[in-house]
Amino acid sequence: MLRYTTEVLAPSDTGDDPAPTASPTSAPNVSAATIGPLRSFTLLQFDGRSWRADEPRPSIDAPFDGLLATDPDLLGRSPSTARGTLAAVHLEVGALRDRELPIATFPRTLQIDGRWSWDAARDSITGTRPTDAGMTYDMVVEIPTLTSDDLEDARVGDPGDARALEIPPTSHAADIAALAAELTAEAETPYEQAMALQSYLRSAANFTYDTRVDPARTDDAVWDFLESRKGYCVQFATAMTVMSRSLGIPARVGVGFLPGQVDGDEYVVTGRQAHAWPELYFEGQGWVRFEPTPAVQTGAPPRWSDPFANVPNAGPTQEVVPTGRPGAVPTGRPNSPTTPGEIAEQGTDWVPAALTSALVLALGALVATVLVRRRGRLLADLTPEQAWARLRRVLARHGVRWSSATTPRAAAALVPERVADLGGSLDAPALEALTGLARAVEQARYAPAAANPEPGRLAAWIDDVHRSARRTLGRRTIGRARRARPGPAATGSRPDDRAARRASSSR
């Protein structure tokens, strides 16, 4: 599809807004991951089952002078290192045939031959003719120094288009809004709400990345996805967009390509990197990208929405270019979308797929009847997500619960407080085990290549926490917990989920 190279730029020695010059040593390194996805267009109009792209409305025609940016204070200005890191990007088109030109999501300059126009509303570049093999263009990308601290207290902004808050009037619109409110019940700011939604969708305990999509069951594609718990980038992006809107946060979907794969001194983008993601609008920051699609496809999320950012020795924030491989799971679909246009067209085209509930039930029966020595071997093979789910079940018997939208790190801080509220305390080994397990789960969710704890370590962590909780709380809390099970707002799960699945499977 594309090939491109990147080069960091530094300011010249003169001028208040100096012209950037190439500098291999005096500025931070840049990579495909630093620059982020290459976006072809954005989507605002969703009818509950499919997205509809707006017709391009040219704001500025090529040749372009200065930065192309939706922020009027930046539009037309020269790139400046005073506002962020500058990266020179040279791109060459391969097999891509599209009138929508992939560009950086950040403010950028653009040098290109031919008749091209910039649409300010969509922040996209459209040509009178499609791209062709061998065509080249250049950008200077101004990468902002955006962090979670910048967004923590940011208020919801007004993008100037009411459709950014529109929710399709489907039969499940209220259900989706209720789930979004439940997942963000403990969030105090719009940014915390966004992070809760992203964490919920990225969790392998909740959803599976799979290009095989179940056939439509209702008039609401988002609800179908939330019920089936599997999908690919379009489903994850659409779900976060709609749920964000239900919370009053303007949101849209960006469509384009994940960063390319390293090939010598350049990056290569293929159809496997075709991708969609949500963008939320914050006052003073504009449209901000989030990444709810699981790490198996996308790698680490953007730095400002990565819970590992600024955490020493956290690991996942190191810049690993995402693989963007639909083959992470069997696709079952020979024509999975490989261009932004196909993503927009096929994003809600549900494809039949066989369910494997019988296998899950068989595994449950096996675990319930195996010998103790067999149980030890199974526990040694636990994944971090399985261990985390097991710990939640164990602690729930003692009345210690937390929402599915709570990040593992936040849960690790919350559990000792909940235990203390019940009159107990966790000893040092239990606290260390709780922290270790939470870190392992976060790495599994957010790291492009998560570390594997040594066999039996996860099970030992569960036992350490459970032993301490049982010792200080005793069995008295188990009966109390069973008599006073909290509702969905406290557990972060819907009580009718299992009944609905049983009903649907019996049809």
> 193-197, 243-247, 465-469 — which is least confidently predicted?
465-469
**Three-class secondary structure assignment of 197-215:** HHHHHHCCCCCEECCCCCC
Predicted confidence at residue 310, as pLDDT, reads 54
Rounded distance, CA 172 to CA 168, Å? 9
Rounded distance, CA 221 to CA 240, Å? 12
Residues 6+ apart with CB under 8 A from 14: none
Predicted confidence at residue 260, as pLDDT, reads 85
Fill in the amino acid letter for 382: L
Predicted confidence at residue 21, as pLDDT, reads 57
Partnered with residue 100 across adjacent β-strands are 126
Q: Could you tell me if residue 423 is left (phi over 0), alpha (psi between -120 and 50 degrees) or otherwise beta? A: left
pLDDT score of 462 more than 50:
yes
Query: Which 8-state DSSP code applies to residue 444?
Result: H
Helices 190-202 and 233-246: crossing angle in degrees, nearest 10, is: 150
> CB count, 10 Å around CB of 246?
20
Mean pLDDT to the nearest integer, 315-333 = 41
> CB count, 10 Å around CB of 248?
10
**Residue 403, phi then psi, degrees to nearest 5:** -70, 150
Q: Which residue has the higher pLDDT, 236 or 349?
A: 236
Fill in the amino acid letter for 474: G
pLDDT score of 96 more than 80:
yes
Q: Which residue has the higher pLDDT, 46 or 341?
A: 46
Rounded distance, CA 293 to CA 430, Å? 32
Report the percent of the chain where pLDDT is more than 70: 74
Partnered with residue 274 across adjacent β-strands are 257
Predicted confidence at residue 390, as pLDDT, reads 85
**Residue 352, phi then psi, degrees to nearest 5:** -60, 145
Of 288, 71, 296, which Cα lies nearest the Cα of 195?
Answer: 288
Mean of pLDDT over the chain = 79
pLDDT score of 475 more than 50:
yes
pLDDT score of 463 more than 90:
no
pLDDT score of 374 more than 70:
no
pLDDT band per the 50, 70, 90 thresholds, residue 344: low
Tens digits of residue pLDDT in 444-459: 877 665 566 776 788 8
Predicted confidence at residue 36, as pLDDT, reads 94
pLDDT band per the 50, 70, 90 thresholds, residue 342: low
Rounded distance, CA 384 to CA 73, Å? 46
Tens digits of residue pLDDT in 263-288: 999 999 998 899 999 999 999 999 99
Q: Which residue has the higher pLDDT, 349 or 77?
A: 77
Beta strands 208-209 and 230-231 are parallel
Using the Cα atoms of residue 173, residue 213, residue 322 and residue 140 in order, give the sign of their dihedral: negative
Rounded distance, CA 278 to CA 456, Å? 38
pLDDT score of 348 more than 60:
no
Rounded distance, CA 168 to CA 242, Å? 9
- Residue 477 to residues 188, 391, 397, 413, 425, Cα–Cα distance (Å): 30, 16, 7, 20, 13
Tens digits of residue pLDDT in 213-234: 888 899 999 999 999 999 999 9
pTM, entire model: 0.68
pLDDT score of 311 more than 80:
no
Predicted confidence at residue 16, as pLDDT, reads 41
- What separation, in Å, do the N-terminal and C-terminal C-alpha atoms of the chain show? 44
Rounded distance, CA 50 to CA 238, Å? 10
Q: Which residue has the higher pLDDT, 102 or 371?
A: 102
